[in-house]
Structure 1
């Protein structure tokens, strides 16, 4: 599970450009630590190229006030809540890292290294009565993650973003990809 992530335009030039694209398109993505239900910057399909918009993080759940924020890559095509969105409306979360908590409740920030590098997380979205909502995809953890948590985000490289969004077969095949090794830093 991925329950929070960072979006820091002041700490990362690439994220700063993505933030500015969202602003130029008339959106105001939340910055800093992103929590479920926040409106966050999302890369999605535009008319002729990808675009940066904002979406609320989390599909409405089964109970009042509940949000479903993650979908398992192993079952996303079988689950009624996610299958149609995955097949037709994939998106990407640009982040500067994400958080997981160990069993002893210690918060860890994950990224490629100790700096806030750009880390892209695969997702999909659906339009509800109050606008678009997105979920990010998770997968089995690799060695860099397994001691902290039993799930990790499905991570894309920058050069895979367009294929994830536009190429359905690429997206289906990517669900079983090995994830990159990450660094965990204890966070306050």
Structure 2
């Protein structure tokens, strides 16, 4: 689920601003098709304000070079590996859209028309530095014909609340997801 996504800041003004803020913060974030381990633009809480940063996507796994790129919203508060980071260091991934593959290995792009997609996540500090992870939920009617999971999407107006309010973030884990446009990729 959500093994890649699209970040094309030149296409959407608000994503362009996020990209510029990441660059201004000294973060060289990936644009175009973003893969696990790429340094991605993320929106974080910093000194009780919303800020833009960049960090690699994926927690180090339990085996060698394995990466854990997604966490299930249904169990994030019950897994020791995720629980504290979700409570303390949430982030939001800005995207143009995200990709899913069907059983025939056909790739599809899901978007919110010409609007940016904001995805809930969190990050954690490891000895190798900060690493981020995407929260997933059960697929809605837009995504379910292709895949059974999807990212936990967040309206732009709720970004600050999600980042700063742990109770809101916990309650949001069960939110209904909006309808999405689907594109052959």
TM interval, shorter chain, is over 0.9
What is the CA-CA distance between 1:130 and the residue it aligns to?
A: 1.6
**Contact 2:143-2:150 within 8 A present in 1 as well:** yes
What is the CA-CA distance between 1:12 and the residue it aligns to?
A: 1.3
Measure the CA separation in 2 of the matches of 1:151 and 1:75: 14
Q: Indicate the larger mover: 19-28 or 70-79.
A: 19-28
Which residue of the partner structure matches residue 80 of structure 1? 80
What is the CA-CA distance between 1:183 and the residue it aligns to?
A: 1.2
Which residue of the partner structure matches residue 178 of structure 1? 176
- Give me the TM-score of the superposition, normalised by structure 2: 0.98
Residues paired across the two proteins, number:
185
Which residue of the partner structure matches residue 45 of structure 1? 45
**Which segments of 5 or more consecutive residues in structure 2 lack a partner in the other structure?**
none
What is the CA-CA distance between 1:31 and the residue it aligns to?
A: 0.7
Which string of whole-angstrom CA distances, capped at 9 and with x for unpartnered residues, describes residues 70-121 of structure 1? 00000000011111100111000000000000011100000112x4x31000
Question: For residues 125-136 of structure 1, what are the structure 2 equivalents within 5 Å?
Answer: 125-136=123-134
**Which segments of 5 or more consecutive residues in structure 1 lack a partner in the other structure?**
none
Question: For residues 24-103 of structure 1, what are the structure 2 equivalents within 5 Å?
Answer: 24-103=24-103
What is the CA-CA distance between 1:186 and the residue it aligns to?
A: 0.7
What is the CA-CA distance between 1:9 and the residue it aligns to?
A: 1.3
- Give me the TM-score of the superposition, normalised by structure 1: 0.96
Aligned-residue CA RMSD (Å): 0.8
Which residue of the partner structure matches residue 167 of structure 2? 169
Residue aligned with 1:54, SS: strand
Measure the CA separation in 2 of the matches of 1:48 and 1:138: 26
